[in-house]
Amino acid sequence: MFDKILIANRGEIACRIIHTCRKMGIRTVAVYADADARALHVQLADEACRIGESPPSESYLRSEKLLDAAKKHGAQAIHPGYGFLSENAEFARKCSQTGLVFIGPSVEAIEQMGAKDQAKRVMENAGVPVVPGYKGAEQSPDFLHSEAKKLGYPLMIKAVLGGGGKGMRVVHKHEDFPEALESACNEARNAFGDDRVLLESFISGPRHIEFQIFGDQFGNAVHLFERDCSLQRRHQKIIEESPSPFLDDELRSSMADAAVAAAKAVKYIGAGTVEFIVGSDRGFFFMEMNTRLQVEHPVTEMITGLDLVVWQLRVAAGEKLLLTQEEISQTGHAIEARIYAENPATGFLPSIGTLHRLVFPGLKQNNSSAKASIRIDTGVEQGGEISIHYDPMIAKLIVHADSRKQAIAAMRSALSQSGVLGVVTNLGFLQSIMQYPDFEEGKTDTLFVDSKLESLLPGNKDSAYWVCWGTAISCLLKDFADSENKAQKSMEPCSPWNSLGNWRAGIEEPHRVQLRNQQGTETEIKIFEENNTFRILHENTEISVTVSAHEDLLDLTWNSEGLEEYGHHLLVLQHESQLLAVHENGRTLFSRLDPLAYEQSEEVSDFRLSAPMPGNVIRVLVKAGDEVSSGQPLLVMEAMKMEHTIVAPADGIVEEILFQPGDLVQNDAKLVEFSLLEK
């Protein structure tokens, strides 16, 4: 076994690998770019090495810097994690040439599976069913357009290299093909350095189901069951589970056999994933093979009780697979939710900034324990940054229970105890999915999020009264704690100026907390407090509640008629004047108002369109003087390796375009001068 390995990655997956290596007594070397100098994976590793500036092209994608770091620190092997160079055959070859073990499959397997078109030809020869389509070398737009017409619509355009939904477009009409092709090619070129694409028929009622496979250097290959990854946004997975609620035993067995056949066809070594698309008619087709560990591998670990990184390390060290197919079993049901810094209401645009507050259930526990009922895999900590340079995933929340129904309940509970302040997240969106009837009944496919997006977005209605009241009580408890702390540090701890007592001569005076929600509704909550009981005045009615506080979590027991159903938890996170209230049915962002503070009135919008994040302008679709309609695309930006379209906010006239293709723009930079059409 290895004494020391270098992890050629960052964030959550680097932390995940470090945890297993620590259990096995293997020393780890972390690498970091400038933006990652104080990152969690750097703190956890035994040693760390700077490899360059913040952009991945200057650090994590520079194979020579990674190899130099491994040599400098005396590592015997390199674990590539996922993303970056994990599926780069040339990097694997260079590792071997310099005497380092690449913890992954052979160079030949990576090359065979690295390009989707070639992979499909290999699978056809192995008898694995593949999706009909065009996967040839001719790539001229006119030729591809004619091939699309032959194939028929709807169809998929897919980048030949890479994954993660980048360079992928669904096309429903012949006239939409040229624009979709250009967009897919541009995105593929930016993400993978290669703009080649293939065309595939679009499968009706598609479900994305993948099988975890493992092979060793002795020709053995097994599967570790399936993961249903059908819940996606922008072709990127957000919810994964196992077992799949769609498969029956017969279909599961057929797909498992095909997955193992695919592994043996390329003499696969190590951890890999064979991905299938399954139609509503239960026909299944090979999509691609990921020659690496997957983001969603904890789902498999939860149902099998196995540590896949242990398997990777032992196989890479020349050992046989730890179990035969007959010895591998699954128990219960597992679900994983990916928590991203992104805004579902704006097309899932990433959000960057500081994680001022970060709370998850059991975050202080060992987050790599595959046998826990709740598991958090994260590569960030409170006070850390979500940077434009890297993927905006904050954490993975994984639950395991005896049944799917129990696992859904466990996920709902875990999400209601999770909160982030500092960036916009998809946590409320994940809660909506978990409560949606179609998900509960296992009826979701890859089109579910797009088709139900409006109903899945957190509502714009004012919060229930009890959420506002509970948040105000949390504010009051914090005021009491701050006052007590101030008194203890004071030279006169008994001074009335260090007390929040609300005694008045001849009258009982309530404490007052003023809150404003996201819709701009302002509310003053009047509260009387005695021990752990609070009385709230609301519309000439007095509501009583008993509160038990555990750090940020409040247990509320309402003692008023009609509120018994709300005797449950409320998580309230605070940072400066911002408050986030989280409960089992959603979450609400409040601002706490200072009645003595002066607030400037907001300026009337001049309809300027600004960049939602730093990035590059890659296409301008209009010119000054153009009359445009609401929702019409104006220009396209590229940021975080994804394309983002800026659209007209209303019917109007483009007064001026302030940037051109190739220009770099900063966050909130004004892009377009825009005026409303006079009616």
Catalytic residue set: 292
User: Given phi > 0 = left and psi -120 to 50 = alpha, else beta, which region is 36?
Assistant: alpha
One-letter amino acid at 506 equals G
Q: Which helix (H) or strand (E) holds 378?
A: strand 374-378
Q: How far, in Å, CA of 349 to CA of 345, rounded?
A: 8
Q: How far, in Å, CA of 376 to CA of 209, rounded?
A: 23
Q: Which helix (H) or strand (E) holds 303?
A: helix 297-304
**Segment 93-101 long-range contacts (CB within 8 Å, at least 24 positions apart):** 94/63, 94/67, 95/67, 98/67, 98/70, 98/71, 100/67, 100/70, 100/75, 100/76, 101/2, 101/76, 101/77, 101/316, 101/317
Contacts of 251 (CB under 8 A, 6+ apart): 278, 282, 284
One-letter amino acid at 304 equals T
Among residues 264, 181, 187, the alpha carbon closest in space to that of 218 is found at 264
What secondary structure does DSSP assign to 554-596, as a single string?
Answer: EEEEE-STT-GGG-SEEEEEEETTEEEEEETTEEEEEEE--TT
Contacts of 48 (CB under 8 A, 6+ apart): 29, 30, 31, 32, 42
Q: How far, in Å, CA of 174 to CA of 154, rounded?
A: 9
One-letter amino acid at 562 equals G
Q: How far, in Å, CA of 369 to CA of 16, rounded?
A: 10
Contacts of 350 (CB under 8 A, 6+ apart): 340, 341, 342, 386, 388, 392, 613, 639, 640, 642
Contacts of 570 (CB under 8 A, 6+ apart): 467, 470, 471, 474, 553, 554, 556, 581, 582, 583
What secondary structure does DSSP assign to 461-472, as a single string?
Answer: SPPPHHHHHHHH
Contact 80, 86 (CB under 8 A): yes
Contacts of 113 (CB under 8 A, 6+ apart): 87, 119, 122, 266, 288, 289, 291
Q: How far, in Å, CA of 200 to CA of 274, rounded?
A: 18
